[in-house]
Structure formats: C-alpha cells, structure tokens
Chains A and B, each alone.
Chain A
Amino acid sequence: MKMIVCVALLTVIVGAAGVGTCAAEKPVVAVRFRVQAATYKGHFSNLNAVEALVTKNLILALKQNISFMDFAAEGDAPRSYLLTVAVDVPDESRQVATQKVWLFSSLTPLGGSEPKSRWQWVKYRDPLSECFDTSDSACRLPNDGEFSDDLNVLLAAANYSELVKNVLRDVPILTGQGKLLVQPVAGWVLPFRPTEICMDLQSQFRVAGSVPSPAATIPGTFLAEMEGPYKPSPDAAVFGMLLRGESDDDDRVKKPIFLQNPDAAVVTAVYVAQYRRPPGSSCGGAIPPSSTGDGGAQ
C-alpha cells in the first residue's frame, strides 16, 4: 500500500515539479550461512548453533556495510531473494585439507530452489596440509568458538562492493519506480534519499525499463551513475545520470527511443551494478559498531 501511494506521489511530484522526496522500501534479502566443507561440517560439536550464530553476525555485517538493501534471517523473510554464504573448498571431490577454504556466496532468485553459481568471496584458510608448525592454531581445524571469532574478523574486513558486484547485483532495489528525465541531463530520479542508500558518486545503477509502442513494448537496460540528490535537499531523491546502454543494442538503438519518449518510459527494475560506499561516512542505514559486539565465542 505504501509503495503504491509512493509511486503515485512520486509520479505526480516528479512530473509536476521534477523533485522527489518520497523514500521507497528497501528490498529484503534473506541470508543463511552454511558449513559445507566436509571436514569442517563434522568437526563442530553443534553445527546448527554455529551456523545460526554466524548467520546472525553476517546479517549485522551486511546491514552495516550495505544500506540499500535490508537483510534478515532465512526464516524471517520467506518471500525474498536468498543470499547463501558457505564455507567450502573449490573442488569438493578433492580432500579439504589440501585446498584453500573460502567463503562462497550465491544468490537464489525469488521462487527459485537452486542458487546461481557461487562466487569466491573471502579466503578463510590456506590448505591445512601445507602447514609446517602444527602448534599454530591456523594449522588446526577451529572449534565452534574459534570459528565464529575467525569469521567475525573476516566479515569485518570483507569487500562488500565485490559482493554486490558479483552476487547482489541481481537483486532489484526498486521495482516499477523511478522516472526518466531528459533535461537538463538524461537520467532517472530514484525514490531513495542519498543517506538511505549510502553510495558515493562512483556507484552505478542498472536500470531496466520499457517503452510501450503500438507495435510492441520495447525493453532496454541502461547504466546510470550516481549523481547525488536531485536537488540540494537532504530529503531529495537521488538522481542517476544515464551513461550508456548495457549492451551495444541498448546503447545504439534503444537509448534514443527512450530519450525521445521519457514520459512513456517505464522503469521495470533498478539494480546496483557498482557499489562504492562513501569513505568514513555515517550513513543513515549504517549500524553502529557497538551493536554488533554480541557475536563471538560462546
């Protein structure tokens, strides 16, 4: 209901005054953490508790580092995209101890049962069989508490821009919202406050839209770069300047059609193609570090 009202309001406001101040709801991504490396799986005394604890810490880390989406545990967000982060090795047919262990991430689309191909996000351990000093804790399999602590450290230093670029890029942050403007520069007004999505000016959106015509509806996908608020106001919606079409066809053929029919152009979905977080910023959606301190060893 809120979204419908918001879209209507945005259409009216943008159409009339060219300024949007309404904030859209963030998409919710369900998150789960799994231990899939065989030797790690059997090593822990309470695997379910470990996975639940790391999932909780992972959600906090994601919320702290990615503001344009919301994250919840798998059971708390049933109808949503599912982000799976798993501890595993690249080749499951080989022995775990002879390979590097990674945090793999993958995304299961809405209504899908199988995740898309997984992506190596963060390296967790070098091959255990290459260790020489067996008294070193890094040469041993961790216990439940050590494992959770290790992952907390890794998650705090992980590269979330790469996670967005490689995995979360398929989660739409907007569906059916946004307005194409042609003057003074071509781009889209997107109903998010800059402080809500917390992106710097190098971030890029991927905007999928369509233009209805008597013959057929013409779809197109374009890249837009974050330009900040549409007008100098803290409540103003952000503006993404059109860069180019995603494909050659989009760029050469469809871009002119969209620009000639800005009022007929409909935004189907908006994705984040490249994410940069402003350095040292305190965005509205960020979680203060003190609230994430309840993780760790049990």
Chain B
Amino acid sequence: MSEGAAHQIVGNAHADNPPTTEDAPQRDQSKRERYHLVWRAAAATAAIMSAYIWWAHNYGEGLGGVPFVATIAGAYTFAMGVLDESYKNGAKKWFAKWLLSLAVLVPGCLAVIILLGSRAPVIVLNQQSDSLHACLSPAESSVNQEKDAVSEKDKPARFHVWSTPLGRPFILKVQGYAPKTVVVAAPAGVTVSPERDLIPQVSLLVRPTADGMSELLSGGTLHVYREQNGQQKEIATDTPHSRSSFLVGVAPVPLSHDLLEDWRLELAGQQMSYVSRANQLLAWKAPRLVKLLSPSDELTAHQKLRVVVQTAGSKQDLECGAIELPEGVDVLADLALHSCPRNQP
C-alpha cells in the first residue's frame, strides 16, 4: 500500500466518524484499564508461577504431573469449542475479569507470599537400592514432634515444615548415620544426601585371616549376628567370592593411616612371606560394604556382635570374632577374626 492511499483511508475514516471531545476521557479510561489489565496479568502469572515452583519444590511433581495439567488444558479447549462465538468471547472476558480481579489476585498473591515464606521442605535423597528410614524433629522444641519418612531410590523422603526465611533448626536422623542439626529456611529448605552430607554413626570393619579370606574367595560366607537377651539374630550376611575385609554399615568410610600401621605391625609378628603379608594388607585396605539385612536395623553403641566365616561345603564355622560396639560418632570398630575354637573329639 502506498503512503497516499493510507492517508486517504485514514482521512475517509475520520470523515465518517469525526472525533468528538466526549470520546477522549473514555479512550483514556480504556487505555488505563488495558494498562492495569497487563499488570494484573503479569502479577497473576508471577503468582501462578511462584505457586507452581513452590509446589514442585515441596512435593516434587508440580501440579500432579503432566496428566493433570493436560486434563485442565483439554477441558478448557473443549469448552471453548462447544461455546458459540458470542458466548466464547463473553466467557473469555469473564474468565479474564474474574482471574484478574483484585478480589482474587490480592489474596492469591498474599497466599503465595505466605507459603513461600513459611513452608519449606527437607528432602532426604537415597542413592542406594535399599530404602532408608529418616526422622526429623524441631531442635528447639521439647515437645516430641518427630516426623518419620522412608526414602527410596526413586522417591526421596520429603518433610514439610513451618519455617521462616531466616531459618529454623531441626534435627535430622537417618538410619545408620549420626543425627545432624540442619537449619531449614523457607522457601529453599534443605536437601540432604546421606552418603555425602551425613556421618555414619558406627561401622564395623571385619578382618578375616589369610585362611578366612581364602575360604571366602572359594565360596565361604560371612555372617554377622547380634546377641540380645541370650539369643542371636543374624543382621548381615555376604558371600563375596573375593579376598577382602568387610565394612558392615550404611556407607563406605575412609580407613585411617594409623589403622594401616597397626595392621602392618600385627602382620609383622606372624610367620608369613612378604608376598602374603602384602596381599593381606591390600585385601584389608579395600573393604567390601555389607548392608544390614533389615532396612530398619542399624548399628548402635553397646550392641554385642558376633561374626563368623562359614565354609562353603560343610557349613562349618572356620573363623570367629566378637565385639561390643563402642560409643561415639563416626566410630570404626576394627574386628580381627581368628580360628574358631574346635570341639574336642
């Protein structure tokens, strides 16, 4: 279209409907309304987005996941298709007016602000295949307000607590690990990965002798029993088909250099070749992690444990050892096995 033609159209239009002085306030009001509408729409979008993010952070899956959102969107589209053109415009206008009205928007924004500032999640991840039992309680409250949850590999445990943006202390206890105080601030909350962020409470390092490791390499089995009220309950077992020591607990822990030096001295007193000694030290240095049989079980101080290496064929007790677990946090109890006492024929 040429510039002259455009002027002609504008000129014709003005010629048909000449502007009057009464239309100016209406146009200003309409302009202001449209301006407010844009801001309300932006505020409504921000509130909805904030609520969505809060929900997703607290509950993990947003608004019930994709199927829920798809159902809402589908229902809306279907309703718009069924309505006549006039009703459609009216419904759209009503929907926009209702959603963007101050009566809805202000409480909605306030609710979102309150939620963001007062509720926070504590998420306990689990990267193991076994489930993990976690417990959360307020640190400053003497009233027992413990919350329990189970963390699975694909479904972390989530606690939803009241807090403030400045934070509130809680005590998190995950099975097998020492309790830890975490400061939970809204809306971020805390995400804990036990293997990375927590310290195992007590771990038991079991060191079979050269004979025991040969048997375990050849199909022998390690059994760990807990003695309680005169009875023994098996709490862990492993058939490794390898030559190593064993770490009974929830997660790998580093072995101190002092411990290795102690083992070196211990082996120096035994009659064996340098090669045997070196192989034994190497095997002990790389413990194999053995988890407890029951997910709800854990090693704690003063538990009396008995460890047995059983032969592959005749299921006889080849090597034995017993220990009472010591008190403390991040304790590694070192148990050297020895030949089981034989019954005299």
Binding site for B on A (CB under 8 A): 38-39, 42-47, 91, 94-98, 127-132, 134, 139-144
In the bound complex, do residue B312 and residue A130 qualify as a contact, i.e. CB atoms below 8 Å apart?
no
Given contacts A42-B313, A43-B311, contact A129 B276 (CB under 8 A): yes
Residue among A38, A47, A141, A143 facing the most chain B CB atoms (10 A cut-off): A141
B273 in the interface, Cβ–Cβ < 8 Å?
Answer: yes
Query: Is the CB–CB distance between B213 and A43 below 8 Å?
Result: no
Give the 6 A-B residue pairs with the shortest CB-CB distance, closest first.
Answer: A45-B313, A141-B218, A97-B210, A129-B276, A98-B272, A129-B210
Minimum C-beta distance from A214 to chain B (A): 55
Among B215, B271, B275, the most chain A Cβ lie within 10 Å of the Cβ of B215
Contact flag A134-B243 (CB < 8 Å), given A38-B339, A46-B313, A129-B280: yes
Chain B residues, CB < 8 A from A139: 217
Q: How far is the CA of A94 from the CA of B280 in the complex (A)?
A: 15
The chain A residue with its CB closest to the CB of B275 is: A130
The closest CB in chain B to the CB of A128 belongs to B214
Cross-chain contact A43 with B279 (CB below 8 angstroms): no
Which residues of B from 100 to 138 have beta carbons under 8 Å from A?
Answer: none
Chain B contact patch, size range: 20 to 34
Q: Please, which residues of chain A bring their CB within 8 A of the CB of B339?
A: 38
Does A44 contact B314, Cβ atoms closer than 8 Å? yes
Across-interface contacts of B218 in A (CB, < 8 A): 43, 140-143
Interface string of B270-304 (1 = CB under 8 A from A): 11110110011000000000000000000000000
B209 contacts the other chain (CB 8 A): yes
CB atoms of A129 and B214 under 8 A apart: yes
Residues of B contacting A128 in the complex (Cβ-Cβ under 8 angstroms) = 210, 214, 217
- B248 neighbours in A (Cβ, 8 Å): none
Interface of B is mostly: loop
Residues in B neighbouring A45, C-beta threshold 8 A: 312-314
- Given the contacts A96-B211, A97-B213, A128-B210, A43 and B314 also touching, CB distance less than 8 Å: yes
Q: Nearest Cβ distance between residue B189 and chain A, in whole angstroms?
A: 47
Q: Decide yes or no whether B316 CB sits under 8 A from chain A.
A: yes
Bound state CA distance, A127 and B215, in angstroms? 13
- Asked whether A98 and B271 contact (CB < 8 A) given A43-B311, A47-B314, A129-B279, the answer is yes
Least distance between B215 CB and chain A CB atoms (Å)? 6
Q: Is the CB of B311 within 8 A of A98?
A: no
- Let me know if A130 and B314 touch, CB within 8 A: no
B208 to chain A, nearest CB (A): 10
Which residues of A sit under 8 angstroms from B215, Cβ to Cβ? 39, 42-43, 141
Say yes or no: A98-B217 contact (C-beta < 8 A), given A44-B313, A143-B313.
Answer: no
Taking a contact as CB atoms under 8 Å apart, the answer to whether B273 and A95 are in contact is no
Q: Is B150 an interface residue (CB 8 A)?
A: no
B318 sits at the interface (CB 8 A) = yes
Contact flag A140-B214 (CB < 8 Å), given A129-B279, A130-B279, A134-B243: yes
Check B313–A98 contact: CB distance below 8 A. no
Picked from A39, A44, A98, A141, the residue with its CB within 8 Å of the CB of B276 is: A98
14 CB contacts below 8 A, A to B, read A38-B211, A38-B339, A39-B311, A42-B311, A42-B314, A43-B311, A44-B314, A94-B272, A97-B209, A97-B211, A129-B213, A129-B275, A129-B276, A144-B313
Q: Which residues of A contact B50 (CB under 8 A)?
A: none
